[in-house]
Structure 1
Amino acid sequence: MTTVSLIDVAGYLPGEPVPAAYYTEYPGAEDKLRDNPMFRIPPLRHHVAGESNADLVERAVQPLIERHGREEIRSVDVLLMHSQLPDIPFVGAGTEVARRLGLKPRWLLDVANAGCASFVQMIELARTILTTTDANTALICNSQSAAGQLFTQPDVRRLAQAAIPGDGCGVGYLTTSAAAPVLDVVTRHIGDYGGDMTAVLEDGRKYWEPGESQLRIGFSEEAIATVMERGNRLVPEVVTELCGRLGLPTSAIDTLVTNQPNRAFLSNWRQALGLPKERHPDTFDSCGNLFGAGIPITLDRAIRSGQVKGGDLVVLGGFAHAGDFAGAAAIRWSG
């Protein structure tokens, strides 16, 4: 079987850091959910200021172009794109990304599901395409732009949920080589949990219908408890299953990179997998919840800081929405 490697990652954060006071000092910023562990506020996050998903990808890819050359990136066979908040109806960002970067991929897919764990899903999709076709290279992109748009609406900004997200973009470059092999991937699509994450408009209209109410996520104490239970369970389960398939204990993981929903999840996942904090880098305090971009941006930071070294077993893991997707991928990093 052809070996596929994740040979590089890069990330981009828009604008200057936005402090927690932007939310906590906002008039009327009171919410009975504010003290819930799900919504413990990070000190900083970044917001888009007019940037589109394609803008974010274009900037995130620049380090890959600098390291590998413009022509190599332009020649990618597969382009996979996930936008947490699509810019316009009907049209994904993938074709615009291809136009901006001068790509002519044989495979171009906008991935709509898998949310916060979509980087893992796209690794699996890219690996499948690269091992079953004549394609040799893939670019996978995660763009998150909801924080500076959806969560800064005046009525939403006063809610506890608004202060958690941040914006950014992470990208990965995969090739058919043994440089930094993807050892295995485990994914679960859990239909029983489908539809449990909801968007709410107070006047009951559809989001495309005219009106004045502002779109928010439908959180309640009961819904939060359900998400916490599922998330605490699912990520350790898929990571443990992945390590079992490799014949390794979870203690063999040198670096675990997960999505970054809140501090409670991060702590609980480490404890469940028996890993010390230094093996589980996170960007929550400086970036907030980056949704799908959280895994590649955190991995990029861990690599650039020297936390990830050549030969390390790197495991990427996460879950999406209210638990309708979970996945983990193992990579033997090249350094």
Structure 2
Amino acid sequence: MTTVSLTDVAGYLPGDPVPAQFFTGHPGAENRLRDSQMFKAPPLRHHVASGETNVDMVERAVQPLIERHGHDEIRGVDVLLVHSQLPDVPFVGAGTEVARRLGLNPEWLVDVANGGCASFVHMLRLARQILTTTDARTALICNAQSAAGRLFTQSKVRRLAQAAIPGDGCGVGFLTTSAAAPVLGVETRHIGAYAGDMTMVRDDGRKYWEPGEGQLRIGFSEDGVAQVLDRGNRLVPEVVTDLCTRLGKTCTDIDVLVTNQPNRTFLRNWRDALKVPPERHPDTFDRCGNLFGAAMPITLDHAVRSGRVQDGALVMLGGFAHAGDFAGAAAVRWNGGGR
């Protein structure tokens, strides 16, 4: 069977760090839910600049890959998968524009809409499947997150506890059919029972496409927050443990655990449940906030650049999406020799 490797990752964070005071000091900021475990604000996060698009961020995130592997190598990718959270334009995904901007001509181009905060694992599995069942030999997977600077800085949304948590950024991964940094296995679950539990609302009840003055936000309630906390605490350790078992490993064999970064409570509970010490669980939450789908590749890139991921390390990626409708884990035997 063809071996597929996560050969490299890279990331991009837009602009200067934005302090929590931007939200907590906003006139009329309210404290309902602000003390919830879900909404303990990080000190810093980044926001897309006015006019900066998902495609702009992908282009900037890919530049280190071009520098390390050569323009021709990246230009020649056979598979391009792109997840945009928030899409730049209704109806049109970012993938084709990414291909045009980077000069790519992929045989496979897919804009991935599902997978949310765990979409990097979702795309890793899709890319691996394509690379092992077709003539394709290289893939580029891209996670662009731009919702923080677009939705959560609106004047009315900005005063809500939820607004201070997200940050913007883009993370990308380069996959090859080689044994450089083999993907040992991927475990994913689509959980229909929780589909639709994450909602977008306006105070006046209008749909997002209907005209008016109300501002779009995520519809959190106290009961909904409690459900998400319960599901997230359970789903990530379950999917990681199941993948370890399938690979003949235990959770103590994990050298580096890279998860999505929703809040400090999840991060602590996940590593406690998996018995992974903090030094093996890289954390970008305090510097970047919740980066949604971009969190895994950006956090892995930060960990590699800071020397926390040694060659030969068993890297476990794990996370869940939305209100729990998707969870996934991927194991990689890391080799950063291409850096």
Q: What's the TM-score once normalised by structure 1's chain length?
A: 1.00
Q: Cα deviations across residues 168-187 of structure 1 (Å, max 9, x unaligned)?
A: 00000000000000000000
1:46 maps to 2:46:
yes
Equivalent residue letter for 2:284: T
Aligned residue number for residue 21 of structure 1: 21
Equivalent residue letter for 1:62: Q
Cα distance in structure 1, aligned partners of 2:174 and 2:249: 26
- The alignment partner of 1:148 has SS state of helix
Aligned residue number for residue 85 of structure 2: 84
**Equivalence map 1:55-74=2 (5 Å):** 55-74=56-75
Aligned residue number for residue 223 of structure 2: 222
Cα distance in structure 1, aligned partners of 2:168 and 2:117: 13
Aligned residue number for residue 214 of structure 2: 213
Equivalent residue letter for 2:232: G
Equivalent residue letter for 2:12: Y
Q: Cα deviations across residues 186-235 of structure 1 (Å, max 9, x unaligned)?
A: 00000010000000111111111100000000001100000000000000
Aligned residue number for residue 173 of structure 1: 174
Aligned residue number for residue 95 of structure 1: 96
Equivalent residue letter for 1:300: D
Cα distance in structure 1, aligned partners of 2:241 and 2:27: 45
The count of corresponding residues between Structure 1 and Structure 2 is: 335
Q: Cα deviations across residues 68-90 of structure 1 (Å, max 9, x unaligned)?
A: 00011000000000001001110
Aligned residue number for residue 37 of structure 2: 37
Aligned residue number for residue 319 of structure 1: 320
- Unpaired runs of 5+ residues, structure 1, are none
Identity of aligned residues (%): 78
Cα distance in structure 2, aligned partners of 1:280 and 1:16: 25
Q: Cα deviations across residues 279-299 of structure 1 (Å, max 9, x unaligned)?
A: 000100000000000000000
- How far the C-alpha of 1:121 sits from its partner, in A, is 0.4
- The alignment partner of 2:60 has SS state of helix
Cα distance in structure 2, aligned partners of 1:235 and 1:324: 12
Cα distance in structure 2, aligned partners of 1:276 and 1:31: 33
Cα distance in structure 1, aligned partners of 2:176 and 2:162: 38
Equivalent residue letter for 1:283: T
- The alignment partner of 1:32 has SS state of coil
- The alignment partner of 1:328 has SS state of strand
Aligned residue number for residue 258 of structure 1: 259
- Unpaired runs of 5+ residues, structure 2, are none
Cα distance in structure 2, aligned partners of 1:200 and 1:209: 12
- How far the C-alpha of 1:60 sits from its partner, in A, is 0.2
- How far the C-alpha of 1:9 sits from its partner, in A, is 0.2
Aligned residue number for residue 295 of structure 1: 296
Cα distance in structure 1, aligned partners of 2:224 and 2:14: 31
Aligned residue number for residue 110 of structure 1: 111
Aligned residue number for residue 187 of structure 2: 186
Aligned residue number for residue 7 of structure 2: 7
Task: Find runs of 4+ consecutive structure 1 residues off by over 3 angstroms.
Answer: none
- How far the C-alpha of 1:31 sits from its partner, in A, is 2.8
Q: Cα deviations across residues 27-56 of structure 1 (Å, max 9, x unaligned)?
A: 000131000010000000000012100000
- The alignment partner of 1:98 has SS state of helix
Cα distance in structure 1, aligned partners of 2:256 and 2:242: 17
- How far the C-alpha of 1:22 sits from its partner, in A, is 0.3
Cα distance in structure 2, aligned partners of 1:266 and 1:78: 32
Cα distance in structure 1, aligned partners of 2:207 and 2:273: 40
Q: Cα deviations across residues 290-325 of structure 1 (Å, max 9, x unaligned)?
A: 000000000000001110000000000000000000
- How far the C-alpha of 1:152 sits from its partner, in A, is 0.3
Equivalent residue letter for 1:17: P
Q: Cα deviations across residues 250-271 of structure 1 (Å, max 9, x unaligned)?
A: 0000000000000000000000
Equivalent residue letter for 2:240: V
- How far the C-alpha of 1:107 sits from its partner, in A, is 0.1
Cα distance in structure 1, aligned partners of 2:23 and 2:205: 26
Cα distance in structure 2, aligned partners of 1:253 and 1:98: 35
Equivalent residue letter for 2:38: M
Equivalent residue letter for 1:92: G
